[in-house]
């Protein structure tokens, strides 16, 4: 049986170079980075070098990078601290954010009584920037939380425009960039972000590590207490091998960005063409078939398949060795449909099965051909 992986938006395959680097660190640099002896200093040096590397790619100061367990922790750190420590009374977000943001914001609303408002979206799921500007006209201290690249349909936010709107209205700006860092260049001297969340396993790095960008002099306080690691912002002994793995994966992603992006764009175009050639009624959710307004790594497909076949479609594809998704991997255990698609699809299209295929440098056109042949069995 073939084995085909089209679920890189959920997690990516580790690059062999990253595995080699992490293995070397685990063998040679096992000292606690908080220890003052040479073993500890060696580990500390590797962490600080990784911090400088990350900062270089975002064009920020190394002191503005906080290593975390991943994007969810980084989102929580920014959102909770903004309300608890910075006096934020109003959060503007959208109904198609990742649950790491949506659930956190809902908890803050319950616990702190803040005002949560949702910006309007068009029928493709893009933010209504005029409505956002209206919502920013507020006397309350406000934070905007909007993701850069949507993890289900791939829509791209005009992150610079939002940053400028926030700056002009004295609002803080947080963005979940889990699906974009490593795939797009971000210059945080140009983009007026205060907080950013990243996860290494989305760009061929290890799971269990990510980072938060926190603009200097913001005034946040720790989410996790117990030690002075990460300049006092995040207690806990650092996983040196994971942090170095993140650094290596980020370097390789940006060093090979143009070549790998061109390759993946070609794959996605080929997949779209094959779907349209073989399934006359196929449609694409959000703007995922629009390469200007959607990421090159995600394709969310509404298939012309009988609704009764939908619930077992993923299972049947898995039996054929094909890995893809109905939406975010974080909600795969839920019987509920996609909260993202429910905001942009009509009732009729919501009854049809939609699948998210997400790509990496490791995919091939031959794999796409195999997926097409398997999907034909369901028509």
End-to-end, the C-alpha distance of the chain in Å comes to: 21
Residue pair 239/208 in contact by the 8 Å Cβ criterion: yes
Q: Which phi-psi region, left, alpha or beta, contains residue 275 (left: φ > 0; alpha: ψ -120 to 50)?
A: alpha
Q: Looking at the chain, how many residues does it have?
A: 379
Residue 142 phi/psi, 5-degree rounding, is: -125, 145
Residue pair 58/187 in contact by the 8 Å Cβ criterion: yes
Catalytic residue (one of 166, 302, 324, 330): 330
Residue 144 phi/psi, 5-degree rounding, is: -100, 130
CA atoms within 13 A on the CB side of 370: 17
Please state at what angle helix 240-255 crosses helix 38-58, rounded to 10 degrees: 30
Let me know if 330 is a catalytic residue.
yes
Number of other CB atoms surrounding residue 376 within 10 Å: 10
Residue pair 307/285 in contact by the 8 Å Cβ criterion: no
Distances (CA, A) of 179 to 138, 184, 305, 374: 30, 9, 29, 28
| Kind and range of the H or E run holding 175 | strand 172-176
The catalytic site residues sit at: 330
């Amino acid at each position: 049986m073939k084995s085909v992986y089209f679920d890189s938006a959920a997690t990516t395959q580790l690059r062999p170079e990253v595995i080699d680097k992490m293995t070397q660190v685990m063998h040679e640099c096992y000292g606690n980075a908080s220890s003052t002896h040479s073993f500890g200093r060696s580990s500390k040096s590797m962490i600080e070098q990784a911090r400088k590397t990350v900062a270089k790619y975002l064009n920020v100061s190394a002191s503005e990078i906080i290593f975390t367990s991943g994007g969810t922790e980084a989102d929580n750190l920014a959102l909770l601290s903004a309300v608890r420590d910075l006096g934020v009374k109003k959060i503007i977000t959208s109904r198609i954010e990742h649950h790491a943001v949506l659930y956190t914001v809902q908890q803050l609303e319950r616990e702190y009584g803040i005002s949560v408002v949702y910006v309007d979206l068009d029928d493709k799921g893009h933010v209504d920037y005029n409505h956002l500007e209206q919502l920013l006209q507020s006397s309350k201290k406000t934070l905007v939380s909007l993701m850069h690249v949507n993890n289900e349909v791939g829509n791209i936010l005009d992150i610079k425009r939002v940053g400028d709107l926030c700056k002009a209205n004295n609002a803080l700006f947080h963005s979940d960039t889990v699906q974009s860092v490593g795939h797009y260049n971000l210059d945080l001297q140009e983009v007026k972000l205060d907080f950013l969340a990243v996860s290494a396993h989305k760009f061929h790095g290890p799971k269990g590590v990510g980072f938060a960008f926190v603009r200097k002099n913001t005034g946040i306080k720790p989410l996790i207490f117990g030690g002075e690691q990460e300049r006092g912002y995040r207690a806990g002994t650092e996983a040196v091998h994971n942090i170095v793995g993140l650094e290596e994966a980020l370097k390789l992603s940006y060093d090979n960005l143009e070549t790998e992006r061109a390759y993946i764009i070609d794959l996605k175009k080929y997949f779209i063409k094959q779907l349209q050639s073989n399934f006359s009624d196929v449609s694409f959710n959000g703007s995922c078939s629009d390469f200007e307004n959607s990421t090159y790594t995600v394709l969310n497909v509404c298939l012309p398949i009988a609704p009764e076949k939908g619930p077992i479609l993923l299972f049947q594809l898995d039996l054929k060795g094909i890995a893809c998704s109905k939406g975010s991997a974080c909600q795969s255990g839920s019987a509920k449909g996609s909260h993202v698609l429910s905001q942009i699809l009509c009732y009729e299209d919501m009854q049809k099965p939609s699948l998210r295929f997400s790509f990496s440098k490791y995919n091939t056109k031959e794999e796409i051909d195999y997926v097409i042949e398997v999907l034909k069995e369901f028509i």
